[in-house]
């Protein structure tokens, strides 16, 4: 990110969100809402303001396990490295203003609206984690956490400086249980999140290194380690003295005195019911389309699958393209995938953008649909069936063709009940003339 921020050809707009996009390939107008930080670009990240701030609030980056000041940096590697003020927590004592030698605190900042013109767009809006409230005691039992919280506990720059402790009493856990596929591979979400198995194996090994005497159990439906080197990692994890139980947790309760979590698991391999008195339970929860993905779908009118992930034009032949020319997708916005897959897809999307924009001009085929407004009855069948979203119905003129996005596929012609739509250069009389010529006619 530092290299990105230093690149003179890249403008980084952090703390911002896209609110509207209009136009077409080569000529998109993007409206961006930039939120106020209440600090200026003069801020050098010295931290003097945070040292004197008397207010603490929840740190969302640490999955609500730690605290931050009302004025603080979002996280240690933030780019740009600028402090921001949480106005919901700030009491406006202005201690930060007095402490800042650069006069970089500005409480008068307001939300800005920025308009930029771009030729192409890549959507890489990431993912959100499923919060399984009401499942397996999450949100009810103190010592039931999710993988994201465990990651922050294990992080050297996290709230516990890399040393895992129980939430209830700060004791070191001796019996740790991972529960896989929480919220996924069910009726509501039948897909696999793709990263949970390896994440549990990796974190299980890290916990075993910190607590060699701990008993660590992973309860799974099946272990999916199908990428390069993953199977070998799985075999090494088993040799690392991790207990792998193939079965789902049937019952879970909490001991009110010790705050231990009591689980009953049916092992389908040994055909027995195992009772575990766990100090800490970690849930591997489903990966969901991010809120940003849902917002950009509304802005660009893109297609999604049943679960809300963006869909591509063709899974095998055009995995980066969307139905709209000049708009590409990459990473978890399209569906669950690991880091290496996301990186390769991002490079592919960047290559597609370079291929499209490097000549400076975009060549378009003249083969597009045409509407005879005299016969159009505005039934909207063509609008619904168009895979490129290139047809709109306007009350006064009926069906209107966006020639930039239309690729002349002909689907609209086949579904039109009044034959009001033709494809340029493929009209009926032209096709009949070709047939006559082939058959030796006049």
CA 317 to chain CA centroid, Å, is 23
The Cα–Cα gap between 432 and 274 comes to 75
Last residue of a domain, one of 287, 305, 328: 287
- Looking at the structure of the chain, the number of domains it has is 2
Name the burial class of residue 400, with classes exposed (0-12), middle (13-18) and buried (19+) by CB atoms within 10 angstroms of its CB: middle
Q: Is the residue at 208 inside a domain?
A: yes
Region 325-332: mean pLDDT is 93
Q: Quick one: 387 and 280 in the same domain?
A: no
- Asked whether residue 282 falls in the same domain as residue 373, the answer is no
Return the CATH number at 191: 3.50.50.60
Half-sphere exposure (CA, 13 Å, Cβ side) for 215? 6
Q: Over 60: is that where the pLDDT of 442 sits?
A: no
Please indicate, yes or no, whether residues 133 and 278 belong to a single structural domain of this protein: yes
pLDDT digits (tens, 9 = 90+) for 124-176: 999 999 999 989 999 999 999 999 999 999 999 889 989 999 999 999 999 99
Condensed to tens digits (0 to 9), the pLDDT of residues 66-118 reads: 899 999 998 888 888 999 999 999 999 999 999 999 999 999 999 999 999 99
Are 240 and 145 in a shared domain? yes
pLDDT band at 364 (very low <50, low <70, confident <90, very high): confident
Six-digit token pair at 1? 């990110």
Q: Which of 287, 317, 349 is the last residue of a domain?
A: 287
Q: Are 196 and 147 in contact (CB under 8 A)?
A: yes
Judgement on whether residues 280 and 374 belong to the same structural domain of the protein: no
Distance between CA 405 and CA 149 in Å, rounded?
44
Give the residue-averaged pLDDT of 334-341: 92
CATH code where residue 391 lies? 3.30.70.20
Q: What is the mean pLDDT of residues 279-302?
A: 93
Confidence of residue 361 (pLDDT cuts 50, 70, 90): confident
pLDDT of residue 214: 94
Residue pair 73/81 in contact by the 8 Å Cβ criterion: yes
CA-to-CA separations, 379 to 384, 394, 421, in angstroms, rounded: 10, 11, 13
Work out the average pLDDT over 268-295. Answer: 94
Q: Is residue 113 part of a domain?
A: no
User: Is 82 inside a domain boundary?
Assistant: no
Q: Does residue 7 belong to any structural domain of this protein?
A: no
Confidence of residue 47 (pLDDT cuts 50, 70, 90): very high
Beta bridge partners of 333: none
* Whether residue 165 is found in the same domain as residue 274: yes
Q: Based on the domain organization, do 255 and 392 belong to the same domain?
A: no
Q: Going by C-beta distance under 8 Å and a sequence separation of 6 or more, which residues neighbour residue 359?
A: none
Q: Which helix (H) or strand (E) holds 209?
A: helix 196-210
Same domain, 379 and 255: no
Tell me, what's the pLDDT at 429?
82
Confidence class of residue 313 from pLDDT cuts 50, 70 and 90?
confident
CB atoms under 10 Å from CB of 406, counted, come to 23
Domain that holds residue 406: 369-438
Q: Specify if 63 maps to a domain.
A: no
319 in any annotated domain = no
Same domain, 390 and 271: no
The least confident of 15-19, 24-28, 29-33 is 24-28
Domain-located, residue 350 = no
SS3 96: helix
Give the span between the Cα atoms of 136 and 399, in whole angstroms.
53
pLDDT for 46: 93
Amino acid 133: pLDDT: 92
Predicted confidence at residue 366, as pLDDT, reads 81
Where is the domain boundary, 227, 254, 287?
287
Do both 396 and 256 map to the same domain? no
- Residue pair 152/62 in contact (Cβ under 8 Å)? The answer is yes
Residue 138, token pair as written in the block: 């999450």
- 256-274 per-position pLDDT tens digit: 999 999 999 999 998 899 9
In a domain, 339, yes or no: no
How far is 27 from 129, CA to CA, in rounded Å?
A: 35
pLDDT at 330: 95
Residue 143 shares a structural domain with residue 276: yes
pLDDT computed for residue 209 by the predictor: 92
* pLDDT, tens digit, 9 for 90 and up, residues 221-255: 999 998 889 999 999 888 888 999 999 898 999 99
**Is 283 in the same domain as 395?**
no
Contact 216/209 with Cβ under 8 angstroms? no
Count how many Cα atoms sit within 13 Å of the Cα of residue 182 in the half-sphere of its side chain.
27
pLDDT exceeds 90 at position 286: yes
What are the two backbone dihedrals, phi and then psi, of residue 393, each rounded to the nearest 5 degrees? Answer: -100, 120
């Amino acid at each position: 990110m530092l290299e990105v921020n230093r690149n003179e050809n890249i403008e980084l707009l952090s703390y911002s969100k896209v609110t509207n996009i209009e136009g077409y390939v080569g000529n998109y107008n993007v409206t961006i809402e930039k939120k106020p930080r209440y600090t200026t670009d003069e801020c050098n990240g010295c931290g003097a303001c945070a040292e004197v701030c008397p207010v603490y609030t929840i740190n969302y980056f640490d999955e609500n396990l730690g605290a931050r000041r009302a004025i603080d940096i979002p996280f240690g590697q933030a780019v740009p490295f600028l402090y921001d003020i949480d106005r919901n927590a700030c009491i406006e004592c202005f201690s930060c203003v007095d402490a800042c030698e650069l006069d970089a605190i500005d409480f008068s900042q307001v939300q800005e609206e920025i308009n930029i013109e771009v030729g192409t767009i890549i959507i890489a809006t990431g993912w959100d984690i499923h919060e399984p409230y009401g499942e397996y005691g999450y949100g009810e039992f103190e010592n039931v956490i999710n993988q994201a919280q465990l990651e922050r506990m294990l992080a050297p720059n996290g709230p516990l400086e890399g040393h895992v402790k129980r939430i209830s009493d700060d004791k070191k856990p001796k019996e740790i249980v991972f529960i896989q596929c929480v919220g996924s591979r069910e009726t509501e979400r039948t897909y696999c999140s793709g990263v949970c198995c390896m994440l549990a194996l990796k974190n299980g090994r890290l916990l075993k290194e910190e607590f060699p005497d701990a008993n660590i159990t992973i309860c799974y439906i099946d272990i999916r380690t199908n990428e390069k080197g993953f199977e070998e990692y799985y075999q090494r994890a088993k040799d690392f003295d991790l207990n792998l139980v193939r079965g789902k947790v049937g019952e879970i309760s909490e001991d009110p005195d010790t705050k231990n979590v009591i689980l009953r698991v049916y092992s389908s391999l040994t055909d027995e019911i195992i009772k575990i008195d766990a100090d800490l339970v970690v849930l591997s929860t489903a990966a969901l389309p991010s809120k940003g993905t849902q917002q950009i779908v509304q802005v660009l009118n893109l297609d999604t699958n049943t679960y809300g992930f963006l869909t591509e034009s063709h899974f095998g032949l055009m995995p980066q393209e969307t139905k709209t020319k000049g708009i590409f997708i990459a990473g978890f916005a399209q569906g669950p995938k690991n880091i290496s897959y996301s990186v390769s897809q991002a490079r592919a999307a960047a290559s597609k953008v370079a291929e499209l924009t490097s000549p400076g001009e975009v060549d378009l085929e003249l083969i597009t649909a045409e509407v005879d407004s005299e016969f159009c009855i505005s039934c909207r069948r063509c609008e619904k069936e168009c895979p490129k979203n290139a047809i709109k119905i306007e009350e006064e003129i009926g069906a209107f063709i966006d020639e930039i996005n239309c690729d002349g596929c002909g689907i609209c012609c086949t579904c039109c009940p009044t034959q009001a739509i033709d494809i340029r250069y493929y009209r009926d009389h032209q096709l009949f003339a070709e047939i006559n010529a082939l058959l030796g006619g006049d």
